[in-house]
Amino acid sequence: MAHTVKRVAVVATGTIGASWAAYFLARGLDVDATDPSPGAEQRLRDAIAAHWVALAQQGLAPGASPQRLRFHTRLEDALAQADFVQENGPERLDFKVDLFRRMDAATPAHVVLASSSSGLAVTDMQKDCAHPERVVLGHPFNPPHMIPLVEVGGGERTTPQAGADAMAFYAHIGKRPIQVRREIKGHIANRLQAALWREAFHLVDQGVATVEDIDTAISQGPGLRWALMGPFMNLHLSGGDGGIAHLLAHLGGPIESWWQDLGAPSMTEALQRRVAEGVAQALGDRQASDLARARDALLIELLRAKQASGLLGQPDPDLDA
């Protein structure tokens, strides 16, 4: 299926949809996009132009061009020739259910309908579809045009073939898809983030550390290792010759005691204000846009280094048409 996808429909072109559209174009695909909001087409084209600089630095597929974008005001027109659909609408279940019903009615039954939803269940989104078997989760990590991860999963009525087709398509265009093997709120990566955020907010709330201290603790500590390998492989290396089995035998008890002592903060107005003030203080005179550009430039270099590395890298994406 991956090699037969030539044209992707991007439904809803906000921040995530525009980033997806730029990435698909950079991989040499044709893109049909649609969004009902006023001025959506110009905002999309502006976003793609802005993203194209970073995408060009990462390397473009043969034939890649922003000129292969077509914008449609009608949803049905955007879906008419699609080989794959990437949906990015608002994170509201009632909206998603109706949107998937309409997309399902407008596309042939073999076309995979993937949702970028960050937390909703596919089972709920597919419930009004005549062909629910082809509805899958295709949740990217923001921004999709930079970050390789895509979480793929299905609902109660999704077929294994639809999930396999989505996995193959994303891998074919250079993504690193992982399978969500059981529906759960927030999927995988967002739940892992939420666990860290929970303790970060707790430590600020309890006066243990400032916002800046916590960001430094992660960005200059475990975050450097996590960017290279995940938590389990890092634990394995920390165990020396005995690996993770040795580490858990000696530190499993202390680790469990830390779990039991983790906080459960409430997102009160006072805590929100305290964190926002801490971020403003840490930023100082710097602009968030300048930080984002610096982050993206370093991220490109990190991805290149991981690509070039043997054990830590990833295979070159198959870009053959």
Opening angle at CA 191, ends 206 and 19, nearest 5: 115
pLDDT over 80 at 314, yes or no: no
pLDDT at res. 3: 58
Output the pLDDT for position 152. Answer: 98
User: Taking the CA of residue 90 as centre, how many other CA atoms within 13 Å lie in the half-sphere pointing to its CB?
Assistant: 7
54-57 contacts, C-beta under 8 A, 24 or more apart: 54/145, 54/146, 54/296, 54/300, 55/22, 55/23, 55/26, 55/145, 56/26, 57/300
Tens-digit pLDDT profile for residues 57-100: 999 999 999 999 999 999 999 999 999 999 999 999 999 999 99
For the beta sheet containing 112-115, the strands, ordered from the edge strand earlier in sequence to the opposite edge, are 69-72, 30-34, 7-11, 84-87, 112-115, 135-140, 149-154, 176-179
CB distance 22 to 145 below 8 Å: yes
pLDDT above 70 for 251: yes
Residues in CB range of 30: below 8 A, 6 or more apart: 6, 7, 8, 68, 70
CATH superfamily of 189-284: N-(1-d-carboxylethyl)-l-norvaline Dehydrogenase; domain 2 (1.10.1040.10)
Helix or strand or coil: residue 44? helix
Look at residue 225 in the predicted model and tell me its pLDDT.
95
Exposed, middle or buried: residue 4 (CB in 10 Å: 0-12, 13-18, 19+)?
Answer: exposed
Contact 307, 228 (CB under 8 A): no
Structural domain boundaries of the chain? Answer: 2-179, 189-284
Q: Would you say the CATH fold of 189-284 matches that of 2-179?
A: no
- Residue 1 pLDDT > 80: no
pLDDT category at 320 given cuts 50, 70, 90 is very low
This prediction's pTM: 0.92
69 secondary structure, DSSP code: E
pLDDT tens digit sequence for 302-313: 999 988 887 776
Instruction: Say if residue 106's pLDDT is above 90.
Output: yes
Under a CB-based contact definition with an 8 Å cutoff, are residues 17 and 88 in contact? yes
Q: Please write the tens of the pLDDT for every residue from 47-57.
A: 999 999 999 99
- pLDDT (tens digit per residue) in 197-234: 999 999 999 999 999 999 999 999 999 999 999 999 99
What class does CATH assign to 2-179?
A: alpha beta
